[in-house]
Structure 1
Amino acid sequence: MTVRLVRQAASLLLSYPDADWPATLDLVAGSLAGARGPAPAALARFCADVADVPPLELGARYVATFDRDRRRTLHLTYYTDGDTRARGARLAGMKALYRRHGWNHEDAELPDFLPVMLEFAARVPDAGSELLAAHRPGLELLRLALRDAGSGYEAVIGAVCSTLPGASPRDREAARALARSGPPTETVGVEGHRR
């Protein structure tokens, strides 16, 4: 149950802090109050750290953190597919996965938006765990980029990573390789491209 709680709490904490943010934050903090373990404790600390930050200020931080730097995007297929056509196929596959498990994702966000993936993982733990594990290198890259930026959101991503099986050398290797090379880019159809 703690894994599902961490994933649902992280889903809410990684969503844009809109007008309902204070109520959402209270709900998450209250849900975490009785939970034990390092991941719930990290999320509770994050809640305490942002509790007195006005929603407009936190919204500006959120945009600066996640919307202005590709290394810190919450759209996880970007880490594996970048801006390529392969990303479209992966997004369609994620939507199909959600539907197969009875979850009709009607959100305005793409299915690879981490809060959407986390909500799915909280509702459908087995398939959700597999989905998150498949994107572990991207999650780890995001966590490291947030750490480098000195962002408090690192604690939230770290809590999510802790719900997955321990990092294997292959995951770390994949994260390092992706960090060195960056996400793939599409050059077909770009003016000036030569074969």
Structure 2
Amino acid sequence: MPRTARRAKGRGLDARQIAIVHRVAGIVLDYPGEDLIARIPDLRIAVAAVPDPARSALEGVLDHLERTALTQLTVDYVEGFDMRRRACLYLTYYGHGDTRQRGVALLSFKQAYRAAGLELTDEELPDHLCVLLEFSATQDAEVGTRLLLEHRAGLEVLRLALLDAGSPYAGALVAVCATLPALVGDEREAVARLAAQGPPDESVGLEPYALPDVKGARP
């Protein structure tokens, strides 16, 4: 078993359960549409195989998606993820903001995917959390988990931001973070520092990786 998978297993989930959490979380965090709503019954069946806290956290997101009108879901989604710097689904943004260094970080994602046999379309930014979670669940769990761990501080800041905002999507982040090792020492300090300071502000050097509207980031 890969080292990253062994570490995550210590949180009470096996490799199959981790894959389910990552796949379902990646689906529910995507821009909502009729296809997503139609998949909710199947997603509930999948989530039932996962232990708490991941199961109940994901079920809460599914409950919200099921009981909320689609038009309201789309409005809430854009307001929740596109209007707040600390609730961004693009993981390299947390560490690099709109700076030159972010372009390098994005290329490292693409190289990791390519090495695992995955080529993204030009419409997909490789650091989008939904892209990474789908990759981890269906392509390469070891590489996917490594990338999540490398961007753990941003992932945790996103989780905290959604919890603080009372977002129904917070459950998806709670579930994903439950598949990773508990934060320790320097990791906790990195999360606290990023939460306090936010991403860097310099807005240069990102071509061709300009940040799109959230609803256009995934086909």
TM (norm. structure 1) is 0.91
**Greater relative contact order: 1 or 2 (C-alpha under 8 angstroms, separation 6 or more)?**
2
Q: Quick one: which of 39, 53, 56 aligns to 2:71?
A: 56
Partner of 1:77: 92
Partner of 2:216: none
Q: Deviations over 1:37-57 (max 9, x none)?
A: 321221122212321211111
- State the distance in 2 between where 1:130 and 1:56 align: 36
- Structure 2: segments with no counterpart, 5+ residues: 1-15, 206-219
Give the deviation of 1:83 after TM superposition.
0.5
The letter of the residue matching 2:78 is V
Matched, 1:143 2:159: yes
Residues 21 and 55, structure 1, Cα contact 8 Å, conserved in 2: no
Q: Deviations over 1:143-195 (max 9, x none)?
A: 11111111111111011011111111221100111122221122779xxxxxx
Q: Quick one: which of 121, 128, 135 aligns to 1:106?
A: 121
- State the distance in 1 between where 2:78 and 2:204 align: 31
Partner of 1:121: 136
User: Do the aligned partners of residues 21 and 78 (structure 1) sit closer, same or farther apart at CA in structure 2, a change above 3 Å counting?
Assistant: same
Q: Quick one: which of 166, 171, 179 aligns to 2:182?
A: 166
Q: Matched residue of 2:201: which SS? A: coil
Residues 110 and 126, structure 2, Cα contact 8 Å, conserved in 1: yes
Partner of 2:149: 133
Q: Deviations over 1:67-100 (max 9, x none)?
A: 1111111011000000001101110110110010
Sequence identity (%): 43
Partner of 1:192: none
Partner of 1:193: none
CA RMSD between the two structures: 1.6
Residues 13 and 25, structure 1, Cα contact 8 Å, conserved in 2: no
User: Do the aligned partners of residues 13 and 164 (structure 1) sit closer, same or farther apart at CA in structure 2, a change above 3 Å counting?
Assistant: same
The letter of the residue matching 1:177 is R
User: Do the aligned partners of residues 32 and 131 (structure 1) sit closer, same or farther apart at CA in structure 2, a change above 3 Å counting?
Assistant: same
User: Do the aligned partners of residues 188 and 149 (structure 1) sit closer, same or farther apart at CA in structure 2, a change above 3 Å counting?
Assistant: closer
TM (norm. structure 2) is 0.81
Q: Quick one: which of 8, 11, 17 aligns to 1:2?
A: 17
The letter of the residue matching 1:142 is L
Partner of 2:36: 21
Q: Matched residue of 2:86: which SS? A: helix
Give the deviation of 1:121 after TM superposition.
1.2
Q: Deviations over 1:17-42 (max 9, x none)?
A: 02312113233122213333321221
Residues 76 and 114, structure 1, Cα contact 8 Å, conserved in 2: yes
- State the distance in 2 between where 1:64 and 1:85 align: 27
User: Do the aligned partners of residues 56 and 188 (structure 1) sit closer, same or farther apart at CA in structure 2, a change above 3 Å counting?
Assistant: closer
- Structure 1: segments with no counterpart, 5+ residues: 190-195
Partner of 1:43: 58
